[in-house]
Amino acid sequence: MSSDVLTSLTARAIALSPNSQNSVKKIKLKVFWKTINFWTDAYINEYHNAALSIAERLVAEQYWDRNGNIRNNRFTCEDFAIRLLCEFASARQLPVKLKTGTREYRNMEIYQPDEHDRYLSHMYGFTEMVMLTYGAPDMQRVGENVVAVATAAELKPGDILAQAHDRPGDVAHHIQVAMSVSPQQIEIKQGNTSGISVRPFTTVRRLLGSNMADPQNDGYAGMPIESGVYEKQSAGWNYKNLTTGSTREDFLKIFQLYRWNFMEFNRA
């Protein structure tokens, strides 16, 4: 049996007859990291305090790719937010539960070969699995993945800014993560996307074997982590991307503000 699968968990089967009353059913789990602890106010505060240092490490971190080349981390916008969360949670053995239009993902799941065999049993495997189907609109799943933050003044490091009010139906299409927050300034970091990332272009590329959403695919569209800053003005918040130099006036007004739904992650 693969070491990737935890087999020590057993669950009593539902008694269908007197003869089956004492039967047990073995359940195989895919364990990306064990859940030993649960989210508390103290862990949530620690996450906010750690968000900037984790992000800075991800900016500087390098690795060898499958061809032996040295690479820096690259992320799409929502993928960066997911990785930051999971870096913190996995190191402290805290649960993560994220939902997309495809399914719900957990750091400990009932093993399914088709779902799990391509992913190694560690934090990197989990994030790659989630990133394949998790998009910016999934950051708007209030009560599931996130809770709403009412105002910019309530933002904390590690919170999520979802660009949405410039699209029909207010559907999110870009994600930023707050790094530091003061009454006059909000610093953010973000992943980004290279190339055209809208249908039908992405569908055609996927049919040709190039999946922009899959971190395991050579066609992955993630880019190096970018930094930006919002400055409060007399009317609104002006934005500057410190990596590219681009600027936008009163930019924050088209964003929705969220925080990870940490306590929901604790629920079975």
Q: What is the pTM of this model?
A: 0.85
What number of CA atoms fall less than 13 Å from residue 36's CA on the CB side?
Answer: 6
**How does DSSP assign 146-167, residue by residue?**
EEE--SGGG--TT-EEEE-TTS
Average pLDDT, the chain: 87
Q: What is the mean pLDDT of residues 169-177?
A: 98
Q: Of 52-56, 182-186, 209-213, 241-245, which range is least confident?
A: 209-213
Element (H, E) at 177: strand 174-181
Kindly list the domain boundaries of the chain, sorted by start residue: 1-31, 33-265
pLDDT of 179 > 70? The answer is: yes
pLDDT of 15 > 50? The answer is: no
β partners of residue 222: 193
pLDDT of 2 > 80? The answer is: no
Q: Of 136-145, 191-200, 244-253, 257-266, which range is least confident?
A: 191-200
